[in-house]
């Protein structure tokens, strides 16, 4: 399946979980998170979608942030998963797996895309 | 980083809209720094990476809580309108009182002066409630036209409608005008109105800063000083009687 063709509704449902998943690999900054999601096949996530989502996660104390000086650039804001964020990621990942399992059982068998 | 006075058009539109949504200044500074960093990393322009600035500011407002201790937009507008009424009425009282004292006559407020206060108040309510409302789409001309129209509507009645509407001792008009003005402006002068500056988290400073002369013009005491000048001119320069 070509990139960027996921239905918008699916992306809205999965994006927060995927961002938490990207942060599970270690502290990173907004643009790198976007690259990570695009590289995994989720498609390009615009800054206008990504940063408000990160702000919400920060408001829910699932993520924390700090500014680090850049190499000649304007500096970057690094986001880190908090212990509460890691616990929430584990909970939602398990739930997501159950959800995928349920939907797979409901859908007709298809050939690999 | 060199401090700028005016940012580019996209950032200015974003900042104005975020202010209208009452996003806290430090959160706006954080968002502007995020935009800078993201655009530097991606090589994109803000419009490409973040879309429409008005819509993005709305997104930001929904994702971040409003500034603590601030009234909602409706109550804030009502506060501005109250200050406008008091300011315009206070100035009318002071000028009429001083004029009458200089002439040794009884003070008069004309119908045109009262209409001017009403027109100025309506103008400020329109600008605050319609022109500068969040998500506005009135175009760039809307604000300057609204300001010019409000000023014209304030000036014309004073010239054309000179029938006396209220007579009172000159000292009473002057004292009432001073009191009303003092009450209206005391929150600003006392510093109770928090400035809530936009602060860049990387530098701890404002990412843009108006030149010194503009900051002086925008200070709270500009109005009293201007008023004093007008009063002095009224007293010292004899006009046609």
User: Chains A and B: how many Cβ contacts under 8 Å?
Assistant: 69
Task: Give percent of chain A with pLDDT exceeding 90.
Answer: 71
pTM: 0.68
Q: What pLDDT was estimated at residue B31?
A: 93
Taking the Cβ of residue B201 and every Cβ of chain A, the question of whether any pair is shorter than 8 Å is answered with yes
pLDDT range class, residue A51, cuts 50, 70, 90:
very high
Is the pLDDT at B241 greater than 50, yes or no?
A: no
What is the least distance, in Å, from the CA of B56 to any CA of chain A?
A: 6
Could you give the 3-state DSSP secondary structure of residue B216? helix
Is the pLDDT at B3 greater than 60, yes or no?
A: no
Across A6-15, A31-40, A66-75, B29-38, least confident range: A66-75
Name, in order, each residue with C-beta under 8 angstroms of B96's C-beta and a sequence gap of 6 or more.
B107, B108, B109, B113, B170, B173, B177
Candidates B26, B31, B41, B48, partner chain A, best to mutate (most A CBs within 10 A): B41
- Spell B141-166 as b/e; 16+ CB within 10 A means b: eeeeebeeebeebbeebbeeeeeeee
Q: What pLDDT was estimated at residue A38?
A: 93
Taking the Cβ of residue B47 and every Cβ of chain A, the question of whether any pair is shorter than 8 Å is answered with no
B124-180 tens-digit pLDDT: 888 877 777 776 666 667 888 888 898 888 888 888 888 888 888 888 988 998 898
B30-86 tens-digit pLDDT: 999 999 999 988 999 999 999 999 899 988 888 876 666 566 667 777 887 888 888
Interchain proximity A31–B64, CB inside 8 Å:
no
Q: What pLDDT was estimated at residue B2?
A: 45
Minimum CA–CA partner of A32 in chain B: B41
Q: What pLDDT was estimated at residue B165?
A: 86
How far is the C-alpha of B127 from the C-alpha of B115, rounded, in Å? 18
Closest residue by Cα to residue B34 from B56, B65, B58: B56
B72-122 tens-digit pLDDT: 667 777 887 888 888 888 888 888 888 888 888 888 888 988 898 899 888
Q: Residues B219-232: what's their mean pLDDT?
A: 72
Task: Give percent of chain B with pLDDT exceeding 90.
Answer: 11
Is the pLDDT at A30 greater than 50, yes or no?
A: yes
Q: What pLDDT was estimated at residue B228?
A: 74
Q: What pLDDT was estimated at residue B1?
A: 44
Q: What pLDDT was estimated at residue B214?
A: 63
pLDDT range class, residue B183, cuts 50, 70, 90:
confident
Taking the Cβ of residue B185 and every Cβ of chain A, the question of whether any pair is shorter than 8 Å is answered with no
Q: What pLDDT was estimated at residue A98?
A: 96
Q: What pLDDT was estimated at residue B201?
A: 86
Taking the Cβ of residue B187 and every Cβ of chain A, the question of whether any pair is shorter than 8 Å is answered with no
């Amino acid at each position: 399946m070509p990139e960027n063709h996921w239905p918008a509704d699916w992306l809205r449902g999965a994006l927060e979980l995927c961002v938490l998943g990207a942060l599970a690999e270690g502290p990173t900054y907004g643009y790198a998170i976007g690259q990570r999601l695009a590289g995994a096949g989720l498609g390009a996530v615009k800054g206008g979608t990504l940063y408000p989502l990160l702000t919400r996660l920060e408001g829910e104390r699932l993520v924390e942030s700090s500014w680090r000086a850049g190499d000649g650039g304007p500096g970057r804001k690094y986001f880190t998963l908090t212990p509460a964020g890691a616990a929430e990621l584990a909970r939602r990942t398990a739930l997501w797996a159950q959800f995928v399992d349920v939907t797979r059982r409901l859908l007709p068998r298809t050939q690999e895309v | 980083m060199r401090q700028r006075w005016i940012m580019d058009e996209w950032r200015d539109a974003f900042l104005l809209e975020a202010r209208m949504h009452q996003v806290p200044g430090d959160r706006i500074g954080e968002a502007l720094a995020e935009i800078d960093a993201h655009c530097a990393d991606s090589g994109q322009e803000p419009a490409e990476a973040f879309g429409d600035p008005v819509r993005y500011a709305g997104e930001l407002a929904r994702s971040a809580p409003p500034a603590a201790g601030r009234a909602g937009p409706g109550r804030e507008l009502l506060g501005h309108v109250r200050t406008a009424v008091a300011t315009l009425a206070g100035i009318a009282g002071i000028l009429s009182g001083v004029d009458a004292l200089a002439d040794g006559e009884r003070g008069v407020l004309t119908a045109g002066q009262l209409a001017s206060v009403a027109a100025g108040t309506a103008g400020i309510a329109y600008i605050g409630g319609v022109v500068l409302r969040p998500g506005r789409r009135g175009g760039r001309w809307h604000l300057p036209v609204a300001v010019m129209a409000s000023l014209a509507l304030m000036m014309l009645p004073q010239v054309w409608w000179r029938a006396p509407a209220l007579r009172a001792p000159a000292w009473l008009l002057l004292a009432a005008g001073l009191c009303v003005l003092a009450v209206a402006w005391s929150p600003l002068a006392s510093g109770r109105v928090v400035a809530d500056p936009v602060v860049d988290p990387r530098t701890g400073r404002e990412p843009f800063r108006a030149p010194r002369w503009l900051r002086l013009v925008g200070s709270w005491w500009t109005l009293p000083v201007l008023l004093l000048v007008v009063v002095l001119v009224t007293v010292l320069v004899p006009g046609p009687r």
